[in-house]
Structure 1
Amino acid sequence: MSSTKCSRCGRQIDAREPQCIWCGAPRPSFGARFREMLRGGLDAGFVVQAIIAANALFYLLSLLVSGRRGFDMNPLSFLSPDQNSLLLLGATGTIPVLELGRVWSLISANYLHGGLLHILFNMMALRQIGPWVSAEFGASRMFVIYTLSGVAGYVASFFAGIPFTIGASASVCGLIGALFYFGKSRGGNYGAAVSREVSGWLISLVLFGLIMPGINNWGHGGGVVGGIVLAKLLGYQERSHENSAHRLLALICVVATVAVLCYAAYFSLAYRFS
């Protein structure tokens, strides 16, 4: 059952009822409910859980669509979908964008992974960093940073000529970049502590990218820079609280993400099982 808040008495009521059962006031209009959502913003815990759930769902979907059968016992490629399924579901890069015209893949690629370890590492990082960014920036700004810094990372890798790429790491790197900006901007003992910890993560990212083959360092770097720029533009809670503009931008990111993922899922399933 969906519920909404009565505009007169403030109590929760069934959204299907024509009027409030407590005070008799008429049901809030769509415009009133929309304004209420903009005032209330997103719930931090729900946002992180929803992102993780969407990533897990699309990973399972990629395995379903994949033509690969059997198990590869190599831990780096264990339970890996094939490239065709990832392309159908919205992998990005120069090939999908230039040859197929899939600009929308700049969003969908952030929800695709190439194997079990790939998604586990990214989701563990998100589970640790996401709530921290939400606490300092607010959940709406966190989702905006997550979405747009992921796009920025994949735009950077596109211009670097990366033909095919996936993963939530560009978006996660955007959250790291936002925390780095926060620590430097805030200053003081707490800001210095944040900067030190985040700097350690950034150094680890660089070293990991140099050692491990197949890492999209352009995506990581673009995500970090995107997170820093977005954090500066949007601000953080100690400087300015979330406002309706932040919440509206988050809503636009939510709608765009849901629309892209639904289209990618429908297209891939229709193609695979037609």
Structure 2
Amino acid sequence: MATAERRSILCPNCRRLINRDEPSCPYCGTSRPGSWLKNNPFTRSAGDADRVITIILAVNVVMYVASLLVDNRPPGQGGLFSALSPGRNSLLLLGATGVVPIDRFGRFWTLLSANYLHGGLLHIFFNMMALRQIAPLVAREYGTWRMFSIYTLGGVAGYVVSYLAGTGYTIGASCAICALIGSLLYYGKSRGGLYGQAVFKEVWGWVVGLFLFGLIVPGIDNWGHGGGILGGIIMAFILGYRERRSDNLFHTFLAGACALATAVSLLLGFLSVYYTFRG
């Protein structure tokens, strides 16, 4: 019994109990899950969905606080919420995107950084609540790394559509979140069956709600939302989901490239702030 327990491990990707000697995880397809390279104290939790989602949430909060520290609006008619809204200059410096930042200043990297900026407390609160609700389901069906790639590249796709539509200035994680929604639309329709239909119907309800919300509330980037959903569907089609395609090295590499590109874009935002105030 003791020997059997020692030979049992949690898959470093899907966190299910498997045999250490399995050539690949029978649940998610990760190759050689028992190898030291994938199962050591440094990499064991790297692919854990909750950990990655928490990091995304934390980066959003850090960028929000940074935008307030750089320049926030003085309290006005909005009271507390007005005081907790960063100024436009702050957001432009840190990486807001749109026609103005891209065409006037050549800041193409803002297509990435804008996904981590928010215009106020309610803005970031509702986006992070949506992320916390949707991302775990996407991670379960697509795997952690594909989820992050869909979030990143789908968000970029949303802002590209918004830019092509002529939006002058836009921010928020909603384009990336809409990409996750798009991937679930694709999953539900592609998988079919009772479960697939249930997923599709639930997610379609979110799409309708987003559409109605965009019609009622002024200042919503509906082009970005639509582009994000479309980008998520395309990325889901290209990458596939776990039931059709096991996790592989390409998925890990793509997620790593997305993480590196995101880090560079956020760093460029901070450098922009530094050189502006230094000058």
Same-fold call, TM > 0.5?
yes
Q: Does structure 2 conserve the Cα–Cα contact (< 8 Å) formed by 1:110 and 1:167?
A: yes
| Distance across 2 between alignment mates of 1:202 and 1:253 | 26
Residue 122 of structure 2: aligned partner: 117
Q: Look up the equivalent residue of 1:42 and give its one-letter code.
A: G
Residue 130 of structure 1: aligned partner: 135
| Distance across 2 between alignment mates of 1:52 and 1:264 | 18
Q: CA RMSD in A?
A: 2.4
Residue 177 of structure 1: aligned partner: 182
| Distance across 1 between alignment mates of 2:123 and 2:113 | 16
Change (3 A) 1:78 1:40: closer
1:221 to 2:226 alignment: yes
- Unaligned ranges ≥5, structure 1: 1-31
Sequence identity (%)? 54
Q: Given the alignment, which residue of 157, 163, 169 partners 1:164?
A: 169
Residue 69 of structure 1: aligned partner: 74
State the Cα distance separating 1:70 from its structure 2 match. 3.4
Q: Given the alignment, which residue of 223, 240, 243 partners 2:245?
A: 240
State the Cα distance separating 1:272 from its structure 2 match. 3.2
Query: Residues 78-103 of structure 1: CA distance to partner in whole angstroms, max 9, x if unpaired?
Result: 51111000000000000100110000
The more displaced of 201-210 and 254-263 is 254-263
State the Cα distance separating 1:135 from its structure 2 match. 0.4
| Distance across 1 between alignment mates of 2:156 and 2:132 | 20
Q: Does structure 2 conserve the Cα–Cα contact (< 8 Å) formed by 1:41 and 1:247?
A: no
Q: Does structure 1 conserve the Cα–Cα contact (< 8 Å) formed by 2:73 and 2:84?
A: no
Residue 47 of structure 1: aligned partner: 52
Q: Which runs of 4+ in 1 moved over 4 A?
A: 36-41, 74-78
| Distance across 1 between alignment mates of 2:196 and 2:261 | 33
Q: Does structure 1 conserve the Cα–Cα contact (< 8 Å) formed by 2:141 and 2:242?
A: yes
Q: Given the alignment, which residue of 241, 257, 264 partners 1:252?
A: 257
Q: Look up the equivalent residue of 1:95 and give its one-letter code.
A: V
Q: Does structure 1 conserve the Cα–Cα contact (< 8 Å) formed by 2:72 and 2:83?
A: no
Q: Look up the equivalent residue of 2:168 and give its one-letter code.
A: P
Query: Residues 114-169 of structure 1: CA distance to partner in whole angstroms, max 9, x if unpaired?
Result: 00000000000000001110000000000000000100000001000000000000
Residue 26 of structure 1: aligned partner: none
- TM-score, normalised to structure 2, is 0.82
| Distance across 1 between alignment mates of 2:250 and 2:43 | 8
Q: Look up the equivalent residue of 1:61 and give its one-letter code.
A: A
Q: Does structure 2 conserve the Cα–Cα contact (< 8 Å) formed by 1:41 and 1:140?
A: no
Q: Does structure 2 conserve the Cα–Cα contact (< 8 Å) formed by 1:42 and 1:139?
A: yes
- Unaligned ranges ≥5, structure 2: 1-35
Q: Does structure 2 conserve the Cα–Cα contact (< 8 Å) formed by 1:184 and 1:195?
A: yes
| Distance across 1 between alignment mates of 2:125 and 2:261 | 25
1:140 to 2:145 alignment: yes
| Distance across 1 between alignment mates of 2:43 and 2:258 | 14
| Distance across 2 between alignment mates of 1:110 and 1:100 | 19
| Distance across 2 between alignment mates of 1:51 and 1:95 | 26
State the SS of the aligned residue for 2:78. coil
The more displaced of 77-86 and 46-55 is 77-86
| Distance across 1 between alignment mates of 2:58 and 2:89 | 23
Q: Does structure 2 conserve the Cα–Cα contact (< 8 Å) formed by 1:150 and 1:174?
A: yes
Change (3 A) 1:211 1:74: farther
Question: Number of matched residues?
Answer: 244
| Distance across 1 between alignment mates of 2:80 and 2:240 | 41
Residue 198 of structure 1: aligned partner: 203
| Distance across 2 between alignment mates of 1:201 and 1:166 | 20
Q: Given the alignment, which residue of 186, 193, 196 partners 2:191?
A: 186
Q: Look up the equivalent residue of 1:43 and give its one-letter code.
A: D
Query: Residues 231-261 of structure 1: CA distance to partner in whole angstroms, max 9, x if unpaired?
Result: 0110001111110011100000011111111
| Distance across 1 between alignment mates of 2:90 and 2:37 | 39
- TM-score, normalised to structure 1, is 0.83
Q: Does structure 1 conserve the Cα–Cα contact (< 8 Å) formed by 2:97 and 2:170?
A: yes
